[in-house]
Structure 1
Amino acid sequence: MGGPDDIGAEPVMSEAGEGAHAREPHLPDLHLRLRSELGRIDDQLHALLTAMDRLQGLLNAVVAISREVELPAVLHRIVTTAMDLVGARYGALGVLDESGDHLAQFISAGLSEQERAALAEIGFPRGRGVLGHLIRHPEPLRVDRIPAHPSSAGFPPGHPRLRTLLGVAISVRGEVYGDLYLSERYDGQPFDAHDESVVVALAGAAGIAIENVRLFERVRIGAEQFQRLLLPKLPDLRPFTAAAVYRPAAEPSRLGGDWYDAIPLPGNVVAVVIGDVVGHDLRAAAAMASIRNMLRALLFEGGGPPGAVLTQLDRTLQAITDNPVTTTTLARIEPDGPGWRLRWSSAGHVPPLLIPPGRRAEYLFVEPGLPLGVDSEQPRPDHSRFVPPGATLVFFTDGLIERPDRPIDASLDDLTTLATAYADLPLKDFVRALADHHPSDGHDDMAVLALRTPSV
């Protein structure tokens, strides 16, 4: 029953079928090409993510190094961040001596306690072997087998048997400062070109960080020397003994406004002052010097009760200066029968401590009054307390006790405990002990002046 059209349709269908069969063998090739391309893209994405992670790690490392303000901390941070960046088990930084031929310092990380104990008697490397090669040739060095390197001199007894090494020189202001050494990747592979490029970049940032911290150190030392020059050397205060100590703030380059003074007056009388100018800059230091000198002049003119002297000082300062707000305590210690009489007035300052012989230290709490530079018309009351022979009076600034994360009462209690415990020490040792073991966080400078009345 089929017609010509049916007969003619078969070849067409057959041709279509033959064409479909002819194309089928190309589909697997297309799938392979697609898989290959997707694999290549995946590898590129993985490499890009790895590069981004390395870059972020490098940026984090640079920031971490830059935050340090003490040279030993900077050098140790350089080593540990380099180890983290390339996944190294061991790391070290060798600082060159002045000649540039040998290592004068060696900061290491990654050694176990047992390894450190085994190397304790050997001392740190001086720059021989492969380490010396990097000193003589300060180009990046990658070694896959340390024992096979021409400069290898072997390892001393007890030293870990290292196989791989990545070494990079660190330059400061164009001169080689030292060499950064890394060894033994955790994955067991030798260091590669990516490791080298990352550590070279870190070494560049490390050189800048080292230079910055050295500049900070010079500024800090200069600021501290300047501050100490402004403070007096305590005179002979016989029949009393006295000692004082000043400690700068922990943060480098911060000038402070803390000061102390002791002035012998006629009749076995001594005037003592402790003060703190608000601020941490040259203005605060200059204000401290001018206030101290004005106060000395007023005391030598005849003075009077401490409250009257502080009132006159406040009015004078307000009339001729624009000094910052200042807290201070002015005291007079004078003979009183079998002992001594302390008369004092406070301008917003922390209370002094009294340590009677054989008894616990106690604060001489009174109404603190207004600081200098607030309202010179307000009256400044005087206070009085009998002081027995052999007692110790302690005047200090709030840098000795303050810390933002702790109630001030707790720090005051800690200071009384310290003062009581060290009360029998010679005065120079006593004030140092208070400054060494103070309950504050060290964010502010501190001054301590102690005066001891003569024993019977």
Structure 2
Amino acid sequence: MPTTPRAAEGLPLPAARPLPRVADEAFERFCRLAQRQLGASVVLVSLTADGEQVIPGAVGLPPEFDATRQLPLTAALCQHVVADGVPLVVPDARLDPRLHDNGAVRELGVVAYAGFPIVDERDEVVGSLCALELAPRDWSEDDLAVLLDLAAACSSELRLRGERERARRAQQQATRSYRQSGLLLLLSDAFQDALTVPDVARTAARVAATGLGTSFTGLAALDEDGRSLSYVSMASFVGDDVERWRRTRLTDDRPVAHVARTRKPLFYEDREALFADFPVVKEMEFLGEARAFLPLVSRQRLIGVLGIGWQQRRTFHDDNRAVKTALAAYTAQALERAQLLEERRHVARTLQDAMLTALPQPDHLAMAAHYLPAGRADRVGGDWYDAVVLPTGSVAVMVGDVTGHDMDAAARMGQLRSTLRAFAWDHPDLPSTWLARLDQANRGLGLDTIATALTGRIDTLGEGRYRLHWSSAGHPPPVLVRPGEGARALGRRSANDLLLGVDPQRARHDHTFDMQVGDTLLLHTDGLVERRGRPLQESLDLLIATASQLGYLSPDKLVRALTDALVSGHPSDDTALLAVQVRPCPGQVDL
């Protein structure tokens, strides 16, 4: 059964929250993603409470319902998903004895239905993500997998909102309760920017050192199996065999395991008191004297243990124990939030990977690509790469960059990318015509997306000769690497036409370059080269110099090596890199 937080934890959640009766952009994006993947007539995010259903996310909803975003539960199939807590999938609801009298079927004409549960921060089913059809439909396994993933993303969004509310209320209560404590004022702000588990560990160490005078801090997170703990950082350990202490089973006779089992803190004024209770820790090259081990618990669920230590002996009075408990509470909330964000990133990245399909591998070309998302939020973005073998036998290659680094950018990227590859396949003419038609569709279909793109068509001329036709819409130039000659950028600045989404009537142009066996063409987005405070031409020159040095590598190794060399750490912008190498066809002699 789902559990709710205890009042004893200090911040019980309300039994129900007012349901939004307006469109919510986050849930709208999930609906658009589902419709694009399934081609369904209607996709809804529905939430229920107190006998009503509201629809914060919808695609294809009739105008009269789109205006109110509200339906009675008698006309809602999602009530069965909420009541049963499991997906409801029917190809024809009229044939289901439990459903055929439902108002959605009888009055609104819903026939096929596939709905998956959405759960909130209490782990209670509060609604559904569903796809509807007005005719029978056999839902495929792929359809249901997409709905399952997007329902999980909706749940993560709902949980994150609940956690933000809990964090806000926790901050208010802590400020009131510990108005005299500078440490708790520091805690109220310290964890706001901690978005990953390592961030939480570093923030906890900094706050403990600043406010409590600690010398070392260790954060051990509960493993997925629920049977062990693993330290996020080993900074509080010394010696040659520190890795043996990284992971501990909950059944081990170690202080962190004991705290995890009992969920009660331990305080030791010096090392001798600790050794008396846990002799095994004598084997460590022990740092300092005093120690405190604090359980990290959120919503009655253990998520880890925080260990803090001092170089000198220390007496723990009731008041400073309460401060340390507050540190543990903030750390627990931040750690749980970071884990939820990681789950959301995983779902989002899975969806983006599904949109970036595998590259073809024709006999005369070897292709490889590498994508690196920017930032530390959703870890997805608007950059894309693609390649298509056209009906004529030519190969279309393309890269693009939609503004933004989030789920919305990824959704708009998917729309442009799919449209562009369809135009290339349907009319395998010059790349400029693909971009022109894409720009017109971008305006005509109401996408109104600002993006850059570069498209190319590689034709086989025979006798080991190939010709590249390419066109650019405000995009960085392609780079060609030729064995023995190094790398160079193709085209001049004047070869760059207007970016997409500004003026669809503006003329676009094509450019040509003759390629030969051994040449490698590099198409990239600006995240590979643009750096704050550095002139763009200097960055492009660095790319060309680095590509010249690494040009001997195969495409799959080259894209990784170039990205590692030019983009370090967390990139400030999305980065996509596509490498296309001309190789001899079977039976062709490479002269």
With the length of structure 2 as denominator, give the TM-score of the two structures. 0.62
Counterpart-to-counterpart distance in 1, 2:219 and 2:298 = 14
1:445 aligns with 2:574: yes
**Worse overlay, 342-351 or 264-273:** 264-273
Q: Does 1:388 align with 2:526?
A: no
> Distance in 2 between the 1:314 and 1:124 partners?
54
Instruction: Report how far residue 387 of structure 1 moved.
Output: 1.7
Q: CA deviation at 1:93?
A: 2.7
Query: Which residue matches 1:372?
Result: 500
- Asked if the contact 2:287–2:311 (Cα under 8 Å) also holds between the matched residues in 1, the reply is no
Amino acid in the other structure paired with 2:242: A
1:101–1:135 contact (8 Å) kept in structure 2: no
Q: 2:361 is aligned with what amino acid?
A: D
Q: 1:333 to 1:173 in 2, by over 3 A?
A: same
- CA distance in structure 2 between the partners assigned to 1:310 and 1:101 by the alignment: 55
Aligned to 1:269: 394
Matched with 2:149 is none
Would you say the 8 A contact 1:241–1:451 is kept in 2? yes
1:346 aligns with 2:475: no
**Given the superposition, is the C-alpha separation of residues 285 and 270 from structure 1 closer, same or farther in structure 2, using an over 3 Å criterion?**
same
More moved, 290-299 vs 255-264: 290-299
2:400 is matched by which residue type in structure 1? G
Is 1:168 the equivalent of 2:294?
yes
- Decide which of 227, 245, 248 is 2:373's aligned counterpart: 248
Q: Quote how far apart the aligned CAs of 1:208 are.
A: 0.8
Aligned to 2:537: 409
Cα shift at 1:245: 1.9
- Corresponding position of 2:548: 420
Query: Are the counterparts in 1 of residues 198 and 232 from structure 2 also a CA contact under 8 Å?
Result: no
Distance 2:257 2:474 in 1: 62
Inter-partner Cα distance in structure 1 for 2:226 and 2:437: 62
Query: What is residue 123 of structure 1 aligned with on the other side?
Result: 245
Cα distance change of structure 1 residues 318 and 272 upon mapping to structure 2, 3 Å threshold = same
CA distance in 2, matches of 1:351, 1:161: 56
Name the counterpart of 1:93.
219
Change in Cα spacing, 1:391 to 1:159, as seen in structure 2 (3 Å) is same
CA distance in 2, matches of 1:363, 1:335: 22
1:306 maps to 2:431: yes
Whether the aligned pair in 2 keeps the contact of 1:219 and 1:252 (CA below 8 Å) is no
Q: Residues of 2 paired with 1:260 and 1:99: CA distance? A: 37
1:205 corresponds in structure 2 to 330
Counterpart position of 2:207: 81
Q: Which residue of 1 aligns with 2:345?
A: 220
Q: Which moved more, 1:325-334 or 1:148-157?
A: 148-157
CA displacement 1:55-106 (0-9 Å, x = unmatched)? 3333324423331222123124323422332212233233345676653336
Of 307, 322, 330, which residue of structure 2 is paired with 1:181? 307
TM-superposed CA distance for 1:171, in Å, is 0.8
Does the 8 Å contact 1:164/1:191 carry over to 2?
Answer: no
Task: Provide the aligned length of Structure 1 versus Structure 2.
Answer: 400
Distance 1:108 1:314, change over 3 A: closer
Unaligned 5+ segments in structure 1 are 1-50
Q: Which gives a bigger RCO, structure 1 or 2 (Cα 8 Å, sep 6+)?
A: 1
Which amino acid in structure 2 is aligned with residue 355 of structure 1?
V
User: d(CA) in 1 for partners of 2:241 and 2:519?
Assistant: 52
The alpha-carbon deviation at position 259 of structure 1 amounts to: 1.5
Distance 1:191 1:392, change over 3 A: same
SS in 1 for 2:486: coil
Structure 2 counterpart of 1:289: 414
- Distance in 2 (CA, whole Å) between partners of 1:343 and 1:221 is 37
By how many angstroms is 1:397 displaced?
1.0
- The residue identity in structure 2 corresponding to 1:117 is G
Counterpart contact for 1:328–1:348, Cα < 8 Å? yes
Do the aligned residues in 2 keep the contact of 1:402 with 1:439 (CA within 8 Å)?
Answer: no
8 Å contact from structure 1 (residues 139, 169) kept in 2: yes
Alpha-carbon spacing, 1:196–1:387, altered in 2? closer, same or farther (3 Å): same
Q: CA, structure 1 residues 196+274, in 2 after alignment: closer, same or farther (shift >3 Å)? A: same
| Secondary structure class of the residue paired with 2:378 | coil
Partner Cα distance (2:338, 2:406) in 1:
19
Residue 584 of structure 2 corresponds to residue 430 of structure 1: no
1:94-125 Cα deviation digits (max 9, x unpaired): 334567665333644455xxxx2355375347
Q: How far is 1:380 from its partner?
A: 0.9
Q: Could you say what secondary structure the match of 2:191 adopts?
A: helix
SS in structure 1 at match of 2:231: strand
- Inter-partner Cα distance in structure 2 for 1:194 and 1:210: 25
Letter of the structure 2 residue corresponding to residue 409 of structure 1: Q
Q: How many angstroms does 1:442 deviate by?
A: 0.8
Supply the AA of the counterpart residue of 1:377.
Answer: Q
Q: How does 1:7-22 map to 2 (within 5 A)?
A: none
Aligned-partner Cα distance in 2 for 1:315–1:96: 52
Secondary structure in 2 aligned to 1:449?
strand
Give me the whole-angstrom Cα distance separating, in 2, the residues matched to 1:101 and 1:376.
59
In structure 2, the CA distance between the partners of 1:200 and 1:237, relative to structure 1 (3 Å rule), is same
Distance 1:152 1:290, change over 3 A: closer
Letter in 1 for 2:245: G
Q: Structure 2 CA distance, aligned partners of 1:271 and 1:99?
A: 46
Structure with bigger gyration radius: 1
Query: Hey, what's the Cα distance between the residues in 2 that align with 1:145 and 1:88?
Result: 14
In the other structure, the counterpart of 1:7 is: none
- 1:173-210: per-residue Cα shift (whole Å, max 9, x none)? 31222222223355x44333343222111111111101
